[in-house]
Structure 1
């Protein structure tokens, strides 16, 4: 199975590098292939998530969340990013799932980020609007106007 990056140009997917060109040469003309579309994650959005977590962590009780990672793990569990653990007695528990680049494409990460913002406003920052929180985070990473 060949994997490569492509861009959409005039309604057609085209490889963006030599690796993709090579993979395309091995597909016979007229062949039907299966394509999985995943939008490459943006590092800036990942940094924005951690700025968001840091900003909220500064405003919560650190006895409950000793580190930003603790807050992030709790948030991931609350928004459904979790993996089941079967305990010896058969009970099910959960551990926080991964938001690593290979586990979520950009579309999935954007939806995750939106759920996180909604949760943080509802549970951790009463009186703060979604717009205020997002603007503050954008100021932190230098993308706000």
Structure 2
């Protein structure tokens, strides 16, 4: 099965959005029928904005120094991201071998979360970041900083 990206034109037709889609459609015989499963793509710019938020918060976060079995424990971005998403209320629950409930962040992959769900996640994570890490920022301050960071990429 081939997945291609199409975009809606002013006239209402779907047109290929990238070279892969152009090539796929060019291989079809004139009048050939195809079956399609249509899924609206999430906004990739918003996805980049989410990671800019996470990176900014991760850099600002200073956990207490800790040791485990004589070794210093450091920050880990993946654990940080998981924890923020869980604190924002977007998690799945499971039980481990010890009988404890473990919370795992929901997947933020494009295939796992639509735009509306991602928008809610982003807003909820911003609230957690403002409450727990960047406590001197307002939401507008944070948006301005993130937009400035994105303008450099």
| TM-score, length of structure 2 as denominator length | 0.66
Deviates most, 134-143 or 103-112: 103-112
Contact kept in structure 1, 2:91 and 2:105, CA below 8 Å: yes
CA deviation profile, 1:77-123 (whole Å, cap 9, x unmatched): 12233232233465532222221233234443333222211221123
Q: Larger Rg: 1 or 2?
A: 2
Equivalent-residue separation in structure 2 for 1:36 and 1:9 (angstroms): 16
RMSD over aligned Cα atoms: 3.3
Unaligned 5+ segments in structure 2 are 66-73
- Partner in structure 1 of residue 69 of structure 2: none
Secondary structure in 2 matching 1:117? helix
Shift of 1:133: 0.7
- Partner in structure 1 of residue 147 of structure 2: 138
Equivalent-residue separation in structure 2 for 1:76 and 1:8 (angstroms): 33
Q: Give the one of 124, 127, 135 matched to 2:133.
A: 124
1:12 aligns with 2:12: yes
Length, aligned pairs only: 137
Deviates most, 59-68 or 49-58: 59-68
| TM-score, length of structure 1 as denominator length | 0.69
The runs of at least 4 consecutive aligned structure 1 residues that moved more than 6 Å come to none
Contact kept in structure 1, 2:41 and 2:110, CA below 8 Å: no
